[in-house]
Amino acid sequence: MEKPVAIVGLGALGSLLAGLLARAGVPVTGVCRSKQHRQAIEASGLLLRDAAGESQLRFPVFEELPGDQSYALVLVLVKSFDTEAAARSLAGRIHPQTPVLTLQNGLGNAEALAVHLAPDQILAGTTTFGALREAPGIVRLTGRGECEIGAWRPAAEKYLPQVKQLFARGGIECRFTSQVAAALWRKLAVNAVINPLTALLRVPNGELLELPGLEPVFGAVVEELWRVATRHHIALPTPPELEAEVRRVCQLTALNRSSMLRDVEQGRPTEIDAINGAVVRWGRERGVLAPVNEALAGLVRAISAAASKAVTAGRESQ
């Protein structure tokens, strides 16, 4: 019997990848802490919506990963602030020779996994797929992209071909990189601009290109990030090239509402500390200030706290 792919975190992206793999006949096991989403999948399966239409896909889903079976791959897609808890939960439940891949936003996820798991089993990377969880049990593909993955330690390179083969079965394009840290920082540059600004201004990605006064902010965020990365000996494209990539992503995903915007709207915690907050922390380690990233992080924390308070008050008044 073929070993399943375990997907830890069935948010929008996790649900999308689970759906694409399951539709292609790849065995999938889901781990989901959202009771409503989990119960919807248990009752009726996951409804995947994309250009091909709608597919109702059934696969087992749990609150914690069962430790009584082997897995072809464990894909970690929880929010960055839950990575350590996920890593602790996985420790002892999976074999040390099972590849574990993080495609999460921000910095620090692979490091958190490596504290509790074998560093030589960890892969890391980025993805440009767009997904929207429309309701419990329903996910929509909003943009077909690709994955870029690499080994966190050289010994993990042996797992890359089997991961690429699994993804290919689900129509998920995947390419390898030997510079996984640089790939994470390139994605971070995009997220560090788009996520906080869309959350603060409550607009979809494309509107960032239309609002006056944001061009200097784009440039300042990227410049600070580039300086921090350089001090950590991480080779990135030039700041103008990074800014051009941010603009390109804004255009390609013009109608998308960023995950951080959706989190703020629903009063959920955001990943700001793994994105702009991480730029600030990594900068301090090497004596590089990042005041614009720090200001954005502070503002998002403030509106997130206010939104959470408002949502809680609304529920209590019902």
Three-point CA angle 56, 59, 171, nearest 5°: 65
Q: Which residues pair with 125 in a beta bridge?
A: 149
Residue type present at position 279: V
DSSP code, position 156: G
How many alpha carbons fall within 13 Å on the CB side of residue 252?
Answer: 13
Task: Show the CA angle centred on residue 270, arms to residues 35 and 268, nearest 5°.
Answer: 40
Amino acid, res. 251:
Q
Query: Is there a contact between 127 and 145 (Cβ–Cβ < 8 Å)?
Result: yes
Contact between 140 and 50 under an 8 Å Cβ cutoff? The reply is yes
Secondary structure of residue 98 in the 3-state scheme: coil
Pick the catalytic residue: 3, 164, 187, 309?
A: 187
- Are the C-beta atoms of 101 and 74 separated by less than 8 Å? yes
* 187 included as an active-site residue: yes
Distance CA 170, CA 55 (A): 13
List own/partner pairs for 181-186 with CB under 8 A and 24 or more apart: 181/234, 182/234, 182/235, 182/236, 183/125, 183/126, 183/148, 183/150, 184/107, 184/124, 184/125, 184/126, 185/107, 185/225, 185/229, 185/234, 185/236, 186/126, 186/236, 186/237, 186/242, 186/245
User: Annotated catalytic sites, by residue?
Assistant: 187
